Structure formats: C-alpha cells, structure tokens
Amino acid sequence: MMKSILKILITIFLAGTIAACDYLDVVPDNVAVIENAFSDKYNAEKFLATCYSYIPNFGDPWINPGLLSGDEVWFNEEIMDDSNTAAMIAKGEQNSLDPFLNFWDGGQRGKNMYVGIRDCNIFLEEIKRVGDMSEIEKKKWIAEVKFMKAYYHFWLFKSYGPIPIVDENLPIYVSTEEVKIYRDPVDSVVNYIVKLIDEAIPDLPLMLLSEVTDLGRITKPIATAIKARVLATAASPLFNGNPDFASLTDNRGVKLFPATFDATKWQKAADAALEAIETAEMANFRLVDSYQTKYKHSEAMMRELMLRSIVTTKGNTEVIWGCTNFPFSHTYQRMLQPLLITVTDANPVSQFYAATLRMAELYYSKNGVPIEEDVSFPYEDRYTLRTAVTAESDYVRSGETTAMLHFDRESRFYASIAFDRGTFVLEPTYYYVQCRAGEMATKRNKGEFSVTGYWPKKLLSPRNGFSGNSYEIDYNFPFPIIRLADIYLLYAEALNEVKAAPDAEVYEYIDKVRERAGLQGVVESWAAHSKNPQKPATKEGMRKIIQQERMIELSFEGQRFWDLRRWKLALDYMNRPIRGWDISGRNLNFYNVTTVYTPRFEFKDYFWPIRERERINNPNLVQNLGW
C-alpha cells in the first residue's frame, strides 16, 4: 500500500515540476489589443469617435472657459466653489501648480488634448489596415481626423500660444531625452494647423447626407470656418507682433512670438473668411431671419423670438458647427431660467446662471448705437426708474417700474437678457420676471438664485415651458461652436484691418448682421443717432464698432472670452468690477447697483500657465511669461 501511495505522490510531484511552463501561461488567446480597433469598419468607426471625443464640452459652463471664465456671466458664491474651475479663472485664481481647465495635461476638468492628438495619429497610421471600406470613405475619415488633429492644436494654441506640434507619434519605449520636446513658435503652429486643414478640406463633404445621423461630422463649411477663425486669431494683436510677449524665448534661443506686426496675416484671415462664407452659402447656410409659430405675436416680439431661436432651434440654417456630443440640455437650460410660476414643491429651475450688468449695458439702444453714444438715450439716468406704458408691454410688463436701462433697447437686448419686470415669453404665455428680494425668482434653495438680477435669455428657446411643478425644454441643442454671423463679422473685422479706411465692403457683412437684428446699417445709424457720427469712417472707430457688434451678436456663446484676449482688451475688461442689482433689496430697493466681485486679471493671464510638473519633467518647455 505504502509503495503505491508513494508512487502516486512522486508522480504528482514530478508532474507538477514538468508541467511548470504551461501552468503559468494563464492568458488565453484573443485578448484585445489595439490592432483589433482596425479590424473592420465597424471598429474603426469607434476609433473615429475616439478621435472626435476630445472636442471640449462646449455647452458645459464648468468646462468651457468661454462661458464662465470671462465677464459675461457670474454664478453666486454658493455655486462658485473650488470645484467650479472655470469660475476660478474668472476670479483670477489661475495658478501654475495645478492649472484650472488644463487641456494640456488633462486636469481640473480639462481634457488631455495631447492624448487626443496621439489618438488622431494612431488613426491616421492604422486606418489603412481596414479592409471593408472604400478608399473614398477612408479619405473622408482621414480628412475628418486631420481636421480634429488641427482643431486640438488650435485649442491649445489659443490657450497657450506657442505649443509643441505633434505631427507623428513617438514610439512608446523611447528614451526620456527624445520625449523632451520644445514649443514651436507661433507662426509655425499656425502654418501647421492651416496646412492640416487645407489637406483635409478637399476630401470633406460640402453637405451632410443626413442631419439626423451625421450632424457634427466635419464638413467643408466647418473646416473653412475654423480655418478663418485660426487665421483671424493669428492676425490679432495678441499674436501678431505683440511686444509684451516678444521676449518669450526657449532654452535654444528660439523666439516663440513673432516680433513684428505682419499686415498680410489679416489679408490671409480675410481671404479665409470669404472662402468660409462662400463655402457655407454654397452649402445653403444663411442667417436665420424668421421664426415659425402658430401663435400671433407683434412684429417686435416676432423678431425677439426669431433671435432667441438662432441657436436653440433644431434644423436652423445658421449654426455651422455645434457640439452634438454635449448638447445644452435640460440640466443647463434650467440654470438660465428664472422661476416664472408659483410652485408648491421643489424648485423646477435652478436659475443661478446670471448675466452681468455689464452685458445689460452692452447692447445698443433701439437706434442701433451704443447707449453711451446715443444722443436720445438717457445714459446718465440709466439706473433711475420709470414705469412701463402699455405700448412697451412686449418688453416690460405694463404698469411695472424698472430701470431706464431696460427701456428703448434693441431687439437683441430683449432677446438675450431677462431682467426684473421684463416680459418673458414661453409660448404662448407672456410671463414677466419678478426677482426683487422675496419675490418669485429669488433664492429658494442653496445657490439657486441670480446674483445680479439678470439671466441670459438667448439660450432658452421660446418653446420651453413650465408645467405644473416642472420645467420642460424644447430641444437639447448642440451648443454652437461657430455660426455664420460669426464669420460675417470676422470678415468685416479682417477687411477693416486690411484696408486703410473702412468702405462699403467692410460695412456689407456687419450690416447684414444688424439688419437681421432690425437695425439700420452702421453708417446710417451712427450718422443719425450717435454723438460721434463719423466713427464708422475711421479704421479705429470701425474696429470698435465691429468689436461691440461681435460682443453683442455672439454674447453668451463663449466667443467674447477669446475675443477679448486676442484683441488684447482683457486686461481692461477683466479688472472691472462685476456688478448687478441689489438682490437683497425689497421692492424698489432692488435697484441699487451692487458690486458682486472684483476679479483680477494680469498680463500673464492672457495665456494659461504650463503646469509646473510638466515643466519640471521637461525643462525644454519654457513657461509662459509672468507664470
């Protein structure tokens, strides 16, 4: 017996020793590897989605610096805590230790754009493996990915200025020294981005086959429009011969900013804008100029509703590129909506997305000129009060009292800003806003109130509505990234810079935008109503006019933040106090202008700081000035 036991045991022992090699090989075949991503078209499309996925969430004010990091909107302190990284930038608390909205390293709510660029490069290297796709389709996808790669470079460029270009991927196990790359000078970066877009354009479709499935896919109008924006940015004062940043030099001695102003850059921008306009119009894009409804409204109200529908309505003709991956959903729309009905329970709207007093003052008077220039507008008395008459009830509830500032303004003011006692149409109901202390649209729960007494109305479709205790929205609209009016104004801006003095060509496209808003042309308006009637005749005067027009037309769409920077005006604007009405004031005590916050903006804030850790790992990356 013992003998047989022993034999068995020894056999087991030996078997264990001999079977050693196989025993440890526990990994079965067919474990997923990156090559599987390009095995067929279905999987390659997932990788295409991956390449798209680094597009920032434009509609998220916590992530899009254009929305909350500037001076257009302000959240109350109860919402603006540290996790609100975009707001931290607005306040002037940006830092280099762990920068807010860090799209370079992917931190503090920023996506990592260099990971996105690497994915684009992987796609471009590997797409040829896919068998079940036609060459034409491959070319189209390649063009889309090239555009995304260009766009991610552009996003970094406008945030950081000169950036390292990553045209090809480094192998994964490469020596540390080879990874320590340098920032490329501004002009090289711009040329690279434009080159990529130019490579992409021929293979991109002019129009989509179906908006239902393809909206958001890159087309020729999108590529040309972004190219125009890239070139206009490069031609703008921040990048074009900016003496403040001319000294930025890396450790090889390479100057990263062009030292001198180059006027041809504006010419390139103008050409690109014209190309973009023509391409967009060929694809049937046009300014929205009407609003479809079955309800009867006055002409003035129809214009307001039309203006409110430009970005909020499905199938509109003006938005060239919107962020389909991250629509402006109910979550966000309820932040902009003042409470207009009596509710018995929890608050259906959170209403803390407040517009600043500065924005309320920005829009033109009804005569189409700035309120401080309008000879007929009581600018000095704008904070005094008067009572609305019946004829004004499209705008202000008749018989109610509000500030003079809220009367006699252009349609875009009423379409864009909700104010105390202002009419607020959610079709077919005409509500009015009541937001003096203790009234309906004031704080009910922590953080759920406007800190200024204003709301951006523009991003709320007239078709939204309250029902019982809830608030429902018409459409989760893709947040606009670029639209036709934007390129019109870019074209006007570039032409104005190119020409010695503005002429009809310069006025043409800005006037198209004004006409849609129900205003006369620049020349006529200024001649008839401005204290400074010759303003449109000079290059400098026209520059100011175009800038204000852009800030009005594109308000609350995330453009002003970047515009103020490229115009080098942020230092001026972003150090002014953020103001609003006194929301703790009852009744008419509400109408005291109150400072909400005084942000800080220094010269260094024109650009993001490179995160310190990245610079310590790679000392070849010179830090932006001031950080």
Partner 1 sequence: MNRGRIFPWVQFAAKFWVPWLAIFLLMVPVLQLSAKGHSLKGDTRAGSTEQAVTENQITPVAESAWPGEVTYDSQQPARRTIRGKITDQQGAPLPGVTITILGTTRGVITDNDGSYSIDVASTDRLVYSFIGLESQIVDVGNQTTINVTMKEKTEELEDVTVVAFAKQKKESVLASIETVKPEELRVPSSNLTTALAGRMSGIISYQRSGEPGQDNAEFFIRGVTTFGYKKDPLILIDGIELSSAELSRLHPDDIAAFSIMKDATATALYGARGANGVILVTTKEGREGKAKVNIRWESSMSQPTKNIELADPITYMKLHNEAVRTRDPLGELPYSPTKVDNTIAGTNPYVYPATDWQNLLLKDYTMNHRLNFNISGGGTVARYYISGGITQDNGILEVPKENDFNNNIDLKKYVIRSNVNINLTKTTEVILRVHGNFDDYRGPIRGGTETYQMIMRSNPVLFPAYYAPDEANKYVQHILFGNFGNGNYINPYAEMVKGYKESSTSMMLAQFELKQDLKFITEGLHFRLLGNTTRDSYFDVQRSYAPFFYYVNSYNNRTDEYKLRLLNSDSGREYLDYLEGQKEVASTFYAESALDYDRTFGEDHTVSGLLVGIMRQYLKGNAGDLQRSLPSRNLGLSGRFTYAYQTKYFVEFNFGYNGTERFSANERFGFFPSAGVGWYVSKEKFWEPLLPTFSKLKLKATYGLVGNDAIGSDSDRFFYLSNVNLNDGNRGFKWGADGGYSRNGVSISRYANDKITWETATKTNLGVEVGLFDKIDIEADFFTEYRTNILMDRLSFSTFGLQAATKANVGEASSRGIDASIDVQHNFNKDLWLTARGNFTYAKGIYEKVEEPDYSATPWKSRVGQPITQQWGYIAERLFVDDKEVANSPRQELGSIVMGGDLKYRDINNDDRISSLDQVPIGFPTTPEIIYGFGASMGYKSVDLSLFFQGSARSSFWIDASATSPFVDNDNNYLANNALLKAYADSHWSEANRDIYALWPRLSYKWENNNLVRNTWYMQDGTFLRLKSVELGYSLPKNLYQRFGIEYMRLYGSGTNLLTFSRFKLWDPEMGGNGLGYPVQRVLNIGLQISF
Q: Residues 50 to 69: which contact partner 1 by CB under 8 A?
A: 50, 52-53, 55
Beta carbon of residue 322, minimum distance to partner 1 (angstroms, whole number): 9
Closer to partner 1 by CB, 304 or 474: give it: 474
Beta carbon of residue 14, minimum distance to partner 1 (angstroms, whole number): 6
Q: Return the half-sphere exposure (C-beta side, CA atoms, 13 A cut-off) of residue 469.
A: 5
Q: Who contacts 391 (Cβ-Cβ below 8 Å, separation ≥6)? A: 398
Distance from chain centroid for Cα 27: 47
Cα–Cα separations (whole angstroms), residue 414 to 363, 433, 608: 9, 12, 35
Site for partner 1 in 133-192 (CB under 8 A): 164, 166, 169-170, 172-173, 176, 179-181
Record the tokens describing residue 414, joined without a space.
């009423």
Stretches 257-265, 520-528, 542-550, 608-616: which one binds partner 1 (CB under 8 A)?
608-616
Encoded one letter per residue, x for contact with partner 1 by CB under 8 A and - for no contact, window 482-501 reads: --------------------
Q: Who contacts 134 (Cβ-Cβ below 8 Å, separation ≥6)? A: none
Closer to partner 1 by CB, 66 or 116: give it: 116
Site for partner 1 in 520-549 (CB under 8 A): none
Identify the residue among 406, 413, 435, 476 touching partner 1 (CB under 8 A): 476
Identify the residue among 244, 250, 505, 612 touching partner 1 (CB under 8 A): 612
Return d(Cα 604, Cα 11) in angstroms, integer. Answer: 76
Closer to partner 1 by CB, 8 or 259: give it: 8
Helices within 20-132 (DSSP H only): 20-23, 41-52, 65-68, 85-91, 113-126
Return d(Cα 428, Cα 431) in angstroms, integer. Answer: 10
Number of residues that bind partner 1 (CB under 8 A): 102
Beta carbon of residue 540, minimum distance to partner 1 (angstroms, whole number): 36
Please report whether residue 331 would count as binding partner 1 according to CB under 8 A: no
Closer to partner 1 by CB, 27 or 504: give it: 27
Please report whether residue 9 would count as binding partner 1 according to CB under 8 A: yes
Closer to partner 1 by CB, 439 or 612: give it: 612
- Helix (H) / strand (E) element for 18: namely helix 2-18
Task: Say if CB 102 and CB 609 are below 8 A apart.
Answer: no
Beta carbon of residue 170, minimum distance to partner 1 (angstroms, whole number): 7
Stretches 57-65, 222-230, 291-299, 344-352: which one binds partner 1 (CB under 8 A)?
344-352
Site for partner 1 in 189-228 (CB under 8 A): 211-217
Encoded one letter per residue, x for contact with partner 1 by CB under 8 A and - for no contact, window 504-523 reads: --------------------
Stretches 17-25, 487-495, 498-506, 534-542: which one binds partner 1 (CB under 8 A)?
17-25
Secondary structure (3-state) at 422: strand
Please report whether residue 391 would count as binding partner 1 according to CB under 8 A: no
Site for partner 1 in 91-110 (CB under 8 A): 91-93, 95-98, 104-106
Closer to partner 1 by CB, 332 or 364: give it: 332
Phi-psi category of residue 610: left, alpha or beta, with phi > 0 → left and psi -120 to 50 → alpha = beta
Identify the residue among 26, 136, 391, 500 touching partner 1 (CB under 8 A): 26
Encoded one letter per residue, x for contact with partner 1 by CB under 8 A and - for no contact, window 561-590 reads: -----------------------x------
Record the tokens describing residue 312, joined without a space.
């909020």
Record the tokens describing residue 466, joined without a space.
């309250």
Return d(Cα 600, Cα 257) in angstroms, integer. Answer: 25
Record the tokens describing residue 328, joined without a space.
């402006």
Closer to partner 1 by CB, 125 or 372: give it: 125
Q: What are phi and psi of 19, to 5 degrees?
A: -75, 5
Cis preceding-peptide flag for 205 (omega within 30 of 0) = no
β-bridge mates for residue 66, sequence order: none
Instruction: Tell whether the torsion through CA atoms of 492, 496, 499 and 503 is positive or negative.
Output: positive
Stretches 7-15, 253-261, 432-440, 585-593: which one binds partner 1 (CB under 8 A)?
7-15
Closer to partner 1 by CB, 180 or 195: give it: 180
Beta carbon of residue 213, minimum distance to partner 1 (angstroms, whole number): 4
Q: What is the dihedral of CA 501, 504, 507, 508, to 10 degrees?
A: -150
Closer to partner 1 by CB, 166 or 510: give it: 166
Site for partner 1 in 111-130 (CB under 8 A): 112, 114-119, 121
Identify the residue among 139, 255, 314, 386 touching partner 1 (CB under 8 A): 314
| Number of Cβ within a 10 Å radius of residue 232 | 26
Encoded one letter per residue, x for contact with partner 1 by CB under 8 A and - for no contact, window 439-468 reads: ------xx----------------------
Phi-psi category of residue 222: left, alpha or beta, with phi > 0 → left and psi -120 to 50 → alpha = alpha
Identify the residue among 188, 191, 293, 325 touching partner 1 (CB under 8 A): 325
Instruction: Tell whether the torsion through CA atoms of 325, 329, 331 and 334 is positive or negative.
Output: positive
| Number of Cβ within a 10 Å radius of residue 247 | 11
Task: Say if CB 136 and CB 126 are below 8 A apart.
Answer: no
Cα–Cα separations (whole angstroms), residue 121 to 14, 178, 293, 365: 52, 18, 47, 51
| Number of Cβ within a 10 Å radius of residue 345 | 8
Beta carbon of residue 624, minimum distance to partner 1 (angstroms, whole number): 13
Site for partner 1 in 30-49 (CB under 8 A): 31-34, 36-37, 43, 45-49
Beta carbon of residue 627, minimum distance to partner 1 (angstroms, whole number): 8
